[in-house]
Amino acid sequence: MIKIGFICTGNSARSQIAEGFGKYYVEKFGKDIEVYSAGSNPSKYVHPLAIKVMKEKGIDISHHKSKSLEEIPLNELDYVITLCGDAAENCPVVPHANTQHWGLPDPAKAKGTEEEKIKVFRDIRDIIEEKVKNLIKNI
């Protein structure tokens, strides 16, 4: 069984979106893959706008919770995908895993009106969807 971990700092938006798409595409493509997400400094919540934009795609992540690295089988991961966009963020490294860095801005830091913020979430969601779909398809 292949194991993929989507890792970020807070595990409230980008990595949660990636986990949601990962589980969706694993099922869609009939792959034998387990998907996890976690944060090096978990926020203790899943961002409401992440939940909202995933619901627009028909994927419910409202039951997800922000997890620490200790709550997933970090040392068993075959793929580690870091989604931290900021060099100042602390993304962990798992030496034996196939590691990819998808440096994406944190939508939770978006400023402006609610509509402006949700547009940022949608843009990041759509980038993550393409990347996750391609990853899962090619494993």
CATH number of 2-137: 3.40.50.2300
Mean pLDDT across the stretch 86-107?
78
Which amino acids are annotated catalytic? Answer: 8, 84, 91
pTM for the model stands at 0.94
Quote the percentage of the chain above a pLDDT of 70. 94
Residues 6+ apart with CB under 8 A from 81: 4, 5, 6, 7, 18, 99, 100, 101, 102, 135
Sorting pLDDT into bands at 50, 70 and 90, what band is 84?
confident
Mean pLDDT across the stretch 97-119?
94
* Summary mean pLDDT of the chain: 93
